[in-house]
Structure 1
Amino acid sequence: MKDLDFAIEVERIINKIATTIEDNDQECRFDLDLNDGILTFSNESGTYVINKQSASKEIWLSSPISGPYHFALQGEQWKSRTGAELYQVLSYELQIEIKG
Structure 2
Amino acid sequence: MDEAVFNPLAEQELVLIERAFDDAGMDVEVQPGNVLQIEFDDGSQMIINRHSAAREIWVAARLGGFHFRYDGRQWVGTRDGAELWTCLNRLASAQAGEPVSLVRGDAA
TM-score by length of 1: 0.83
Residue 18 (str. 1) matches residue 23 (str. 2): no
Identity %: 28
| Corresponding letter in the other structure for 1:56 | A
Matches for 1:53-68 after TM superposition, within 5 Å: 53-64=51-62, 66-68=63-65
Give the secondary-structure state (helix, strand or coil) at the position aligned to 1:87.
Answer: helix
Which runs of no fewer than 5 residues in structure 2 stay unpaired?
93-99
TM-score normalised over the length of structure 2: 0.77
d(CA) in 1 for partners of 2:73 and 2:91?
Answer: 22
| Number of equivalent positions | 95
Question: Counterpart amino acid of 1:71?
Answer: F
How far residue 13 of structure 1 moved from its aligned partner, in angstroms, is 0.6
User: How big is the shift at 1:51?
Assistant: 0.6
Answer yes or no: is 1:42 the counterpart of 2:39: yes
Please provide the CA RMSD for this pair.
1.7
For 1:68, the aligned partner's letter is G
Higher relative contact order (CA 8 A, sep 6+): 2
Return the structure number with greater strand share. 1
The answer on whether the counterparts of 1:6 and 1:57 sit within 8 Å (CA) in structure 2 is yes
Structure 1 stretches (4+) deviating beyond 6 angstroms?
none
Residue ranges of structure 1 left out of the alignment (5+ in a row): none
Give the structure 1 partner of residue 101 of structure 2.
96
